[in-house]
Amino acid sequence: MSIATERNPEVEEGVAVKRILHITGAMNRGGTETMLMNLYRKLDKTKWQFDFVSYSKDHAAYDKEIQAMGGRIIHITHPGSLTEHIKAIKHNGPYEAVHAHTLFQCGIALAAAKMAGVKNRIAHAHTTMDHADTFVRKTYMHAMRRTILMLSTERLACSKAAAVYLFGKEASFLFLPNAIQWEGFLKNEAERAELRKELGLEQSFVVGHAGRFIPAKNQQFLIKLFPEIKKRNPNAKLLLVGDGDLRGELENQVLQSDYAKDITFLGLREDMESVFQTFDVFAFPSIYEGLGLVLLEAQAAGKKCIVSEAVQPEADLKLGLISTVSLSDEKRWVEEVLHSEAAQVSKTDIERAFINERYSVQQALDQLLNIYQREETRHEKAVNRYV
């Protein structure tokens, strides 16, 4: 058994605070992890602290920032080990709550939290599909769902579909919006001009995408459509932001095509607020999706978004920026991308939408802190907006 904790001793001393343990796998720049960082940055560190369990030996993108703010990165060698989770919780606690984000594996974390004496045990649903194509996997999912329902004191979800997938159709849950610091994404012509010049895109029609390079995000679909987009608009460029297992394969595919100069892989970026300014249209052809945090960022930037039918309705801020197109209709995808007129949405409308839909960081943080302070399960009293 191997458990290691990384912490910053310079911010470790002082008045005791209430600590929350988040089970995420690794704090890289994914949607769930970015949402947690948005909340963590806003957190009053004199009263609360977040720690994070990592199942990776490697340092993740957000690790240094977490440690600088007083959080701990707790490395667990075996994700399926109940014993390792119990030891990590007891050694680094006490914890006000254990908050698990790892789909069906949440059952392991919640069982460990229960055995370690943690009163508040939260399972959080973030996606709508898994690779459940074997009997063994389906059996595991069934067992973990039962464990989650039995041991969680609260169940959260970013969308109704995500809740149904993880918890089942009959289970109660609370809707916790995926919060972003939307103010930084508002339209900024100076940033747009500067970055487009830096990237050589001054006269280009830029089709943008941001997401982890995994099958679910379906970047392959955009690469497949791009020749027709380019044929119809010679100034078209495709900008792909992110990293992941499929990136190398897709880069090699593009390099061997006639469009190597027109399709750019930007990798991971820390200036996503500026990157969104460069796009003329945002394309998001996911095969499955819990919500899609980047869609909130794109709407905050006032960008027209062409999305697949997998995108959940909760992601639409009702600003008239979302167009849903079936992945089976490639011709219509091309048409929608090419004829996406510049959106005319005011900053006031965007601000009102985020507040009305409860996607602001402060609103989500207030809701979450209230949940963390509960002393017992309140499923029977949960306000379920979908009932």
Q: What is the pLDDT of residue 118?
A: 96
Is 101 domain-assigned?
Answer: yes
Round the average pLDDT of the chain to a whole number and report it: 90
Tens of pLDDT along 119-174?
A: 999 999 998 876 667 888 889 999 999 999 999 999 999 989 999 999 999 999 99
Same domain, 165 and 30: yes
Tens of pLDDT along 224-271?
A: 999 999 999 999 999 999 999 999 999 999 999 999 999 999 998 989
Same domain, 148 and 175: yes
218 in the Ramachandran plot: left (φ > 0), alpha (ψ -120 to 50) or beta? Answer: left
Same domain, 146 and 169: yes
Same domain, 190 and 173: no
Same domain, 44 and 109: yes
Tens of pLDDT along 86-132?
A: 999 999 999 999 999 999 999 999 999 999 999 999 999 998 876 66
Same domain, 346 and 369: no
Same domain, 241 and 320: yes
The pLDDT of 198-215, averaged and rounded, is 95
Q: Check: CB of residue 354 under 8 Å from CB of residue 360.
A: yes
pTM above the 0.85 mark?
no
Is 384 domain-assigned?
Answer: no
Higher per-residue confidence, 2 vs 31 = 31
Higher per-residue confidence, 131 vs 290 = 290
pLDDT surpassing 60 at residue 11: no
The pLDDT of 75-79, averaged and rounded, is 94
Is 277 domain-assigned?
Answer: yes
Same domain, 256 and 337: yes
Q: What is the pLDDT of residue 177?
A: 84
Same domain, 157 and 195: no
Closest by alpha carbon to 104, among 120, 87, 128, 83?
A: 128
Q: What is the pLDDT of residue 41?
A: 95
Same domain, 327 and 348: yes
Higher per-residue confidence, 377 vs 363 = 363
Tens of pLDDT along 329-357?
A: 999 999 999 998 766 889 999 999 988 88
pLDDT surpassing 50 at residue 385: no
Same domain, 157 and 194: no
- Confidence category of residue 386, pLDDT binned at 50, 70, 90: very low
Q: What is the pLDDT of residue 6?
A: 65
Q: Check: CB of residue 278 under 8 Å from CB of residue 192.
A: yes
Tens of pLDDT along 291-324?
A: 788 999 999 999 999 999 999 888 899 999 999 9
- How far is Cα 156 from Cα 124, in angstroms, rounded to an integer? 5
3-class secondary-structure state, position 174: strand
- How far is Cα 32 from Cα 385, in angstroms, rounded to an integer? 21
Cα Rg, the chain, nearest whole Å: 21
- How far is Cα 372 from Cα 103, in angstroms, rounded to an integer? 20
The CATH number covering residue 116 comes to 3.40.50.2000
Same domain, 59 and 196: no
Is 253 domain-assigned?
Answer: yes
Q: Check: CB of residue 82 under 8 Å from CB of residue 111.
A: yes
Dihedral sign, CA of 279, 281, 284, 290? Answer: positive
- How far is Cα 271 from Cα 295, in angstroms, rounded to an integer? 16
Q: What is the pLDDT of residue 379?
A: 46
The pLDDT of 366-384, averaged and rounded, is 67
Structural domains of the chain, count: 2
Q: Per-residue b/e over 96-112, b at no fewer than 16 CB within 10 Å? A: bbbbbbbbbbbbbbbbb
Is 272 domain-assigned?
Answer: yes
Q: Is the peptide bond before 9 cis (omega within 30 degrees of 0)?
A: no
